[in-house]
């Protein structure tokens, strides 16, 4: 097994952060100000100034219920770096078409790198009920809960979605969910007494960017097996949900470290606001050469309590990526990351499998199996069927590359088990 360090690109060209004139002030938005009691921090590169997570204690309004989390984010702002051999920046204008862009991305994620694409076309969407209803057909008055599914009735669309609350997460880190309507959530954007987000809202029209069809080999397999597999005739709802979704965040929401489930790569595009991504990587990965060692490194790292200085030992790399409207980020399977959203933001995204990154998919899935998915924040029961159909589609995909090499990877994916 290759060491994770073996194919890192040089830091001199891997993560060239675009220059900006002056500091972008994100301590307020559209005339709304975050609590004055919340400290202001300037992030690496002196590019952005933000507030820290702050929810006032109802009994003592100057006290921050999220004090530990605020210190956690403050330490991140001090210690994260802007350059890494594990981050690659691409400019959309450098490619003549989406197929070329997808090929360039596939060549990077196969080595475990995170790719950032700038200059790609996008359609804005804001944290506003009318805007979200017009763009995604999300009804403002539908009550939201944790099922993460939707039902379609005549003339009405009921969308049941997951809302995460930063304060409730203090008492229950694995189930910080609450009930409310989309309108109540959007109104809460202007309320300093809460910090919340909505995850994995399914999009009815499939908000998939054009380049993804050349990168996502699982849907290519589904489509090419149209007349070759009985399973192709019954695509599960979970497959559609994994294909495209919407994330909506209130300002100052912070997502703790995790990797994406079921060995998936993910793509995301920011439609409004800003998001600060941090790619997390234990330094011991540099010397790890087998699955046991990689598991021990990841497990030791993730078991640190998310306290004030959690996850920030000198034994890890923390690479900061700034993204704004239109920017795209694509992560390889198994990439540990966290996210800070300084102002309200809407993001679209989706999961994908790539033949190029199957070795990382296999490793990520085996780690999830061994840890009972404690490294991730969700699961997709359709993933096993999806990789099975990708295996069945191999004879139809000889143009993708070396056939027997791909076949070996899939055999390893299904029959290897965590040691």
Predicted local distance difference test score (pLDDT) of residue 368: 77
Asked whether residue 4 is domain-assigned, the answer is no
Token pair, residue 35, equals 């609590």
Q: CB of 282 within 8 A of CB of 297?
A: yes
> What's the maximum distance between 2 C-alpha atoms anywhere in the chain?
66
Share of the chain above pLDDT 70, in %: 74
Which residue has better confidence, 290 or 67?
67
175: CATH: 2.60.120.650
How confident is residue 158, by pLDDT bands cut at 50, 70 and 90? very low
Asked whether residue 5 is domain-assigned, the answer is no
Nearest to 125 by CA among 136, 113, 117: 136
Asked whether residue 234 is domain-assigned, the answer is yes
How confident is residue 100, by pLDDT bands cut at 50, 70 and 90? very high
Asked whether residue 256 is domain-assigned, the answer is yes
Predicted local distance difference test score (pLDDT) of residue 226: 61
Q: How many domains are there within the chain? A: 1
Q: State yes or no: pLDDT of 416 exceeds 60.
A: no
Asked whether residue 6 is domain-assigned, the answer is no
Predicted local distance difference test score (pLDDT) of residue 233: 62
Q: CB of 295 within 8 A of CB of 243?
A: no
Q: What is the pLDDT averaged over residues 225-250? A: 73
Asked whether residue 1 is domain-assigned, the answer is no
Predicted local distance difference test score (pLDDT) of residue 401: 53
Token pair, residue 110, equals 């196969």
| Packed helices 358-371 and 291-302: angle between N→C axes, nearest 10 degrees | 60
Asked whether residue 25 is domain-assigned, the answer is yes
Q: What range does the domain containing 125 cover?
A: 11-415
Asked whether residue 3 is domain-assigned, the answer is no
Predicted local distance difference test score (pLDDT) of residue 201: 75
Which residue has better confidence, 149 or 86?
86
| Cβ atoms < 10 Å from Cβ of 194 | 17
Please state, in angstroms and as integers, the Cα–Cα distance from residue 414 to each residue in 147, 374, 388, 407, following that order.
29, 21, 9, 11
Report the C-alpha gap between 170 and 72 in whole angstroms: 13
How confident is residue 257, by pLDDT bands cut at 50, 70 and 90? confident
């Amino acid at each position: 097994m290759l060491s994770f360090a073996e194919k890192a690109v040089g830091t001199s060209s891997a993560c060239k952060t675009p220059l900006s004139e002056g500091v972008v002030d994100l301590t307020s938005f559209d005339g709304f100000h975050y609590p004055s009691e919340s400290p202001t921090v300037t992030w690496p590169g002196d590019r952005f100034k933000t507030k820290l997570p702050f929810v006032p204690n109802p009994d003592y309004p100057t006290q921050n219920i999220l004090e530990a989390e605020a210190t956690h984010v403050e330490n991140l702002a001090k210690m994260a770096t802007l350059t890494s051999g594990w981050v690659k920046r691409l400019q959309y204008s450098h490619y003549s078409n989406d197929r070329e862009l997808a090929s360039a991305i596939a060549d990077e994620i196969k080595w475990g790198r995170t790719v950032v694409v700038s200059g790609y076309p996008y359609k804005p969407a804001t944290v506003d009920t009318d805007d979200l209803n017009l763009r995604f057909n999300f009804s403002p008055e539908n009550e939201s809960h944790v099922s993460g599914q939707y039902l379609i009735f005549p003339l009405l669309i009921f969308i049941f979605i997951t809302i995460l609350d930063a304060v409730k997460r203090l008492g229950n880190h694995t189930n910080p969910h609450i009930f409310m309507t989309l309108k109540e959530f959007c109104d809460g954007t202007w309320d300093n007494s809460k910090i919340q987000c909505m995850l994995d809202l399914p999009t009815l029209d499939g908000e998939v960017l054009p380049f993804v069809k050349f990168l996502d080999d699982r849907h290519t397999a589904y489509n090419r097996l149209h007349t070759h597999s009985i399973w192709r005739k019954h695509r599960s709802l979970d497959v559609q949900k994994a294909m495209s979704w919407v994330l909506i965040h209130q300002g100052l929401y912070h997502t703790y470290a995790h990797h994406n489930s079921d060995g998936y790569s993910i793509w995301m595009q920011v439609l409004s606001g800003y998001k600060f991504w941090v790619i997390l990587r234990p330094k011991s990965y540099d010397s790890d050469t087998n699955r046991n060692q990689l598991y021990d490194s990841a497990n030791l790292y993730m078991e640190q309590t998310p306290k004030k200085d959690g996850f920030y030992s000198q034994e890890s790399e923390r690479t900061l990526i700034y993204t704004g409207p239109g920017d795209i980020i694509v992560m390889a399977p198994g990439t540990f990351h966290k996210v800070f959203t300084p102002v309200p933001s809407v993001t679209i995204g989706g999961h994908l499998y790539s033949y190029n990154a199957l070795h990382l998919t296999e490793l990520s899935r085996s780690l999830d199996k061994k840890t009972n998915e404690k490294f991730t924040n969700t699961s997709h029961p359709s993933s096993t069927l999806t990789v099975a159909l990708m295996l069945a589609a191999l004879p139809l995909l000889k143009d993708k590359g070396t056939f027997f090499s791909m076949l070996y990877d899939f055999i390893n994916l299904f029959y290897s088990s965590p040691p």
